[in-house]
Amino acid sequence: MSGKRYYLFDWDDNILHMPTKIYLQKYIASKWVDIIIGSKEFAKIREHIGSNYRLTPDSFKDFSSNINFLKDAKSALQSKSFGPSFEKFKESLIYGNDFAIITARSHSPETIKNGVKLLIKYTFTSGELSKMKKSLGGQKISDYLNDQEYHGVSSEDFKKRYGLTGTASNPEKSKKMVIKNYIKEIVDSVPKLINGDYEKMSVGFSDDDLGNVKIIENLIKDELLKLYPHIHFVVYDTSDPKNINKNRIFIKKV
């Protein structure tokens, strides 16, 4: 018997530190002042949107351009601006594990998948590439990547698929929808799991945003464990890159 492993990864500041900027206004000295920040800083001040900070129509303009995403991904890869889950994501690729990318961005699934292709192109050694091909057992890398899921929860593709409006400033509801649907899909795709074909099934979640981490924890405890008690859930809180193992949260049915 063997185990089935699945992973769900956030992209920004988790897999890669992208140079993409966010355009906001901050209330300083009785007036609103234009500021430009990165996604890591935005995660920290996001709860203050509507008080000390406010969005503009152009706040996330760089998060919707498919061309800019690939340009920024290439830049991050070439400068080795790797996020705390970069090695875990790379490992999942090498071993041919199934995964989903869930990001607050509004890029198309095809664009996000192309970002993964760039990651393989710029960071895999020939040995790692050979190991990945061996893990896939004859399946083409392109076909393997086509089988995975890529969700920009602010994208038009996402809105059409789920009938929801996800925004980069408040993606929690959309991410929960994706997670619940993904878990159902992978369980349905392994119908013989509980009949002994597999020893265990594990699902790992990785996010650098503490708000999202807490929401994922609660979702697992309040809903997913009741529906899927045979799944082993692990949450990787990567908000502190120096203590990922310390912040690895195992959630089991009591």
Q: With cut-offs at 50, 70 and 90, classify the pLDDT of residue 4.
A: confident
Residue 246: the pLDDT is 57
**CB contact at 8 A, 70 and 111:** yes
Q: What is the rounded average pLDDT of the residues 178-193?
A: 82
Please state the pTM of the whole predicted model.
0.86
| Maximal CA-CA distance, the chain | 66
CB 135 within 8 A of CB 94: yes
Residues 156, 242: Cα–Cα separation, whole Å: 36
pLDDT score of 155 more than 60: yes
pLDDT tens profile 103-119? 988 899 999 999 999 99
Q: What pLDDT was estimated at residue 1?
A: 42
The Cα–Cα gap between 181 and 72 comes to 29
pLDDT at 230: 85
Mean pLDDT of the chain: 88
Amino acid 254: pLDDT: 53
